[in-house]
Amino acid sequence: MSETILITGGAGFIGRFVAKQLLARGDHVRILDNLIEQVHGDASATSIDPAVEFVAGDVRDSGKLARVLQGVDKVVHLAAEVGVGQSMYAIDRYVSVNDLGTATLFQALLDNPVKRVVVASSMSVYGEGLYRDSDGKLHEDVMRQPRVDTQASWDPLGPDGKPMEPVPTPEWKRPALASVYAITKFVQERLTLTLAPAYGMEGVALRLWNAYGPGQALSNPYTGVLAIFASRLHNGKAPVIFEDGQQRRDFIHVEDVARAFLLALDHPKAAGGVFNIGSGEDRSVNDVATLLAEAMGRPDLKPELAGKTRAGDIRHCIPDIDKAIEDLGFEPLCDFREGLAELAEWVAGQTAQDRVHEARQELEARGLVA
Residue 368's pLDDT is what? 59
Predicted confidence (pLDDT) at residue 105 exceeds the cutoff of 70? yes
The answer on pLDDT for 45 being more than 70 is: no
Residue 29 identity (one-letter amino acid): V
Active site residues: 181
* Single-letter residue type at 115: K
> Rounded mean pLDDT of 2-27?
96
Q: How confident is the model at residue 125 (pLDDT cuts 50, 70, 90)?
A: very high
Please report how many Cα atoms fall inside a 13 Å half-sphere around the Cα of residue 144, on the Cβ side. Answer: 28
Task: Give the sheet arrangement for strand 28-33, strand by strand.
Answer: 53-56, 28-33, 4-8, 74-77, 116-122, 202-208, 274-277
* 240 DSSP β-pair partners: 304
Can you tell me the distance from the alpha carbon of 305 to that of 56, in angstroms, rounded to the nearest whole number?
41
Of the candidates 116, 111, 104, 108, the one whose C-alpha atom is nearest the C-alpha of residue 76 is: 116
Q: What is the mean pLDDT of residues 108-134?
A: 96
- Give me the domains of the chain, ranges plus CATH numbers: 4-365 (3.40.50.720)
How many C-beta atoms surround the C-beta of residue 172 within 10 A?
Answer: 10
Within its chain, how far is the Cα of 11 from the centroid?
15
Count of CA atoms in the C-beta half-sphere (13 A) of 23: 17
How far the first Cα of the chain sits from its last, in Å, is 55
Please give the C-alpha separations between residue 322 and each of 65, 257, 332, in angstroms, as whole numbers: 35, 15, 12
Please compute the mean of the pLDDT values over residues 133-159 and round it to a whole number: 86
Confidence class for position 149, pLDDT limits 50, 70, 90:
confident
For position 228, what pLDDT does the model report?
Answer: 85
3-state SS string for the chain = CCCEEEEECCCCHHHHHHHHHHHHCCCEEEEEECCCHHHHCCCCHHHCCCCCEEEECCCCCHHHHHHHCCCCCEEEECCCCCCHHHHCCCHHHHHHHHHHHHHHHHHHHHHCCCCEEEEEEEHHHHCCCEEECCCCCEECCCCCCCCCCCCCCCCCECCCCCECEEECECCCCCCCCCCHHHHHHHHHHHHHHHHHHHCCCEEEEEEECEEECCCCCCCCCCCCHHHHHHHHHHCCCCCEECCCCCCEEEEEEHHHHHHHHHHHHHCHHHCCCEEEECCCCEEEHHHHHHHHHHHCCCCCCCCEECCCCECCCCCCCCECCHHHHHHHCCCCCCCHHHHHHHHHHHHCCCCCCCCHHHHHHHHHHCCCEC
The string of pLDDT tens digits covering residues 165-187 is: 999 999 999 999 989 999 999 99
Q: Which of 157-166, 243-252, 322-331 is most confident?
A: 322-331
Closest residue by Cα to residue 72 from 130, 121, 29: 29
User: Tens digits of per-residue pLDDT, 258-308?
Assistant: 999 999 999 999 999 999 999 999 999 999 999 999 999 999 999 988 888
